[in-house]
Amino acid sequence: MEAGKKTQGAEFYSEDVMELARRNEDFRRVLFTTERSQLVLMAIRAGEEIGEETHDDVDQVLAFVGGEGEAVLGGSTRSVRAGSVVVVPAGTRHNFITRGNETLKLFTIYTPPEHPDGTVHRTKLEADEYEREHHR
């Protein structure tokens, strides 16, 4: 599963993102980035969460393909599972938490892009360390 990059000359990205998301084991893997959007796979292991955050100028759409969890948006909690979609408008405080013993698997689209093109964080710890080094 390689990250597709607009900067490598590709004009578009076309893959079975549902299957890629189901197979993905990385906490975060950027697949494709354009000037205005970004496609990212995520795998949130049992007992983990994305972590409460707010994207001031970025909308985010998350589509879940496996596992079960909770979406916490602006203080409200909703269950998520395979087939669920959550739209997080810019400026909304949010978190996604795995419930149960299975990894919560999803793909997400950011508009505009949120992460450097080609980013791969194998674990949440690796992602958190990157955030501390580059965004604080």
DSSP 58-110: -EEEEEEEESEEEEEETTEEEEEETT-EEEE-TT--EEEEEESSSPEEEEEEE
Locus of tokens 């955050």: 53
- Would you say residue 109 lies in a domain? yes
Per-residue pLDDT band at 133 (split at 50, 70, 90): confident
Quick: pLDDT tens for 30-48: 999 999 999 999 999 999 9
- Would you say residue 47 lies in a domain? yes
pTM for this model (two decimals):
0.88
- Would you say residue 2 lies in a domain? no
Structural contact between residues 85 and 64, judged by C-beta atoms closer than 8 angstroms: yes
Its domain, for residue 48, covers 16-124
d(CA 59, CA 126): 24
- Would you say residue 6 lies in a domain? no
- Would you say residue 107 lies in a domain? yes
Q: How many domains does the chain have?
A: 1
- Give the pLDDT confidence score for residue 18 in this predicted structure: 97
Q: What percent of the chain is predicted at pLDDT more than 70?
A: 91
For residue 60, what is the domain's CATH number? 2.60.120.10
- Would you say residue 4 lies in a domain? no
- Model confidence at 2: pLDDT above 60: no
- Give the pLDDT confidence score for residue 135 in this predicted structure: 66
- Over residues 62-90, mean pLDDT: 97
Mean pLDDT of the chain: 91
